Structures are given as C-alpha cells and as structure tokens.
C-alpha cells in the first residue's frame, strides 16, 4: 500500500517545503491539490505538473493522485484535456474529479452525469490515466458506494474508478465491508479521514454539519476497513486527507503523522486467514 497526503491544507507552502514535509513524516508522496492558489494549477499544469513530479521523484516520492477543483465536472471544460495530458506526461495515474449535485429529478441528473463521466473516460483512455469519482456525503450524485456505482454503469474500470472515502461512508454509506464489496471492481484509491455530524444544540431546525476530527475520534470503521483490505490483499493508494482547517501547515503535517502512525499500528496488529 502506498500512503500519501492530500495537500489541500498545506496551502502557502512551496513545492520544496511540501516534498520535505511529506518525506519527514514518512509518506510515499502526495495527493496533490491542483487548484488556484497552489503551486500547480489548472492553468499552469502543462509545465508545472511534470516539473513537480520530477521534484517529488528526486526525493524518492511520487504524486499518486491529482485532486482537481470541486467544480471540475465536465470534460468540455477548457482545461480538461490539458490537465489529463499533464497527468499522463507526469506519470500521475489518478485524477479526482469534481462533484455533481442533486437539485431535482435524480434520474435526468444521473443521465447527464453518466454522459459527462463517459467523456472523462475517453479522455482518461487517451492520456493513459484514470478518472475517479469521490464518494462524498451531502447532495452529491456519488454520495456512497451504491450511488457512485450507478455512475460507473457501462464504463471500463481501466479508465474510471471510485475514490472510496472511509469518513464519508461512515456518515452516509453502507456498512463498510458491504460498501467496499459493492465498488471493489472500480476501487481506485482510499480516502482516509474521520468524521462526525455536528449540530447546534437546542435548535430543532439547525442544519447538521460535517466535522473532521483526528483518527479515533469519529465514526470511521477503521478496524473493518483494515481487515477488509488485508483480507482482500489490496495494494493500492491510501490518501490521508488531513482536512484540519484552521491548523497551520506544520500542525497539519504533525496530525497527519499521528493519524498515519495510529493506522499503521492497527494494520500491523490485524491477522487474517
């Protein structure tokens, strides 16, 4: 298994600082946030992403995932082919897409999403990469394994896949072993984070909100996740999402190290037949 970190909350760090930080805490590389305001953006990716990949490689690390802007959900977008081509050139094999949301009429929305994902699949095949749908709670069209698999229907798992998120599955998913079984043939990566629902106490009409917490303080079924992956001999990429908003980057790296260490200790203790 390769262990990487989602670099969203390392905003403000240079690539050299990100590389040094990830290497220092014992990770294999990055789930690189390719968004405006970061070292690599959709606009500069044609040159900046291959250069970043070389910089990671020189430190013995790799960029395993490119995470795009949340609104990157249409293969007709101006930078779509440029980004897929840059990933192909840089050797970044997995691209996390943005989100489609349900507003009204689920079935017509699903048809539209499937057409767009089929377009991403063609881009992925052309550029030698894989487009990933991230299961995310809320009104997203791929909120759990079952919903994400509806998007995959008729598409080749060589070109599209599911970025299974243990945290969001704990909020709106199926039992974890069931969820992984549902999407196993399309499982492209694992997103690791711990979540709880939060709500303003005493207000009946208060909306519920997701809150990211350190590993072990949320609802993610870590033991079941690890046992299932071990039993099925999964050897893919796990992205520690570390979405600790409000922390300075050094503290995000420190919490990532703690999360990773706790997971590794649990993983080593699991014995399967």
| Position 273 pLDDT exceeds 80 | no
| Position 16 pLDDT exceeds 90 | yes
* Residue 106 pLDDT: 96
Closest Cα to residue 185, out of 166, 160, 220, 165?
160
Taking a C-beta distance cutoff of 8 angstroms, is the pair 95, 124 a contact?
yes
Q: What is the pLDDT of residues 169-190, one digit of tens each?
A: 999 999 999 999 999 999 999 9
Dist CA 131 CA 100 (whole Å): 14
* Residue 101 pLDDT: 97
* Residue 263 pLDDT: 96
* Residue 208 pLDDT: 87
Position with higher pLDDT, 203 vs 18: 18
Domains along the sequence of the chain with CATH: 2-269 (3.20.20.150)
Taking a C-beta distance cutoff of 8 angstroms, is the pair 243, 6 a contact?
yes
Which pLDDT band, with edges at 50, 70 and 90, does 201 fall under?
confident
213, containing H or E segment: strand 209-213
Q: What tokens appear for 151 in the block? A: 């998007």
Helix ranges (H only) for 157-248 are 166-172, 176-183, 222-231
How far is Cα of residue 265 from the mean position of the Cα atoms in its chain?
Answer: 22
Region 6-33 average pLDDT: 97
- Work out the burial of residue 27: count CB atoms within 10 Å of its CB; fewer than 13 is exposed, 13-18 middle, 19 or more buried: buried
Q: What is the pLDDT of residues 219-254, one digit of tens each?
A: 999 999 999 999 999 999 999 999 998 899 999 999
Question: How many other C-beta atoms can be found within 10 angstroms of the C-beta atom of residue 153?
Answer: 9
| Position 43 pLDDT exceeds 80 | yes
What's the mean pLDDT when you consider all of the chain?
96
* Residue 88 pLDDT: 98
* Residue 6 pLDDT: 98
* Residue 246 pLDDT: 84
**In angstroms, what CA-CA distances link 252 with 37, 38, 190?**
18, 16, 19
Report the predicted TM-score, pTM, of the whole model to 2 decimal places. 0.95
């Amino acid at each position: 298994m390769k262990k990487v970190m989602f670099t969203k909350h390392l905003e403000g760090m240079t690539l050299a600082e990100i590389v040094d930080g990830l290497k220092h805490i014992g990770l294999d590389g990055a789930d690189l946030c390719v968004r405006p305001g970061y070292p690599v953006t959709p606009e500069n990716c044609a040159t900046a992403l291959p250069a970043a990949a070389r910089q990671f490689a020189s430190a013995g690390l790799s960029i395993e995932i490119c995470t795009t802007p949340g609104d990157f959900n249409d293969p007709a977008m101006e930078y779509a082919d440029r980004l897929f081509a840059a990933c192909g050139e840089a050797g970044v094999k997995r691209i996390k897409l943005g989100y489609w949301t349900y507003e009204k009429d689920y079935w017509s929305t699903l048809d539209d999403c499937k057409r767009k994902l089929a377009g991403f699949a063609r881009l992925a095949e052309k550029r030698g990469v894989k487009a990933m749908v991230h299961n995310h709670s809320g009104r997203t069209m791929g909120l759990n394994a079952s919903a994400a698999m509806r998007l995959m229907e008729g598409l080749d798992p060589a070109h599209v896949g599911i970025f299974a998120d243990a945290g969001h599955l704990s909020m709106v998913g199926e039992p974890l072993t069931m969820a992984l079984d549902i999407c196993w043939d399309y499982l492209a990566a694992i997103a690791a984070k711990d979540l709880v629902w939060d709500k303003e106490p005493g207000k009946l009409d208060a909306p519920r909100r997701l809150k990211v917490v350190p590993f072990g303080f949320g609802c993610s079924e870590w033991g079941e996740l690890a046992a299932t992956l071990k039993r099925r001999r999964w050897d893919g990429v796990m992205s520690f999402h570390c979405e600790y908003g409000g922390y300075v980057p050094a503290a995000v790296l420190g919490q990532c190290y703690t999360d990773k260490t706790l997971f590794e200790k649990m993983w080593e203790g699991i014995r399967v037949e």
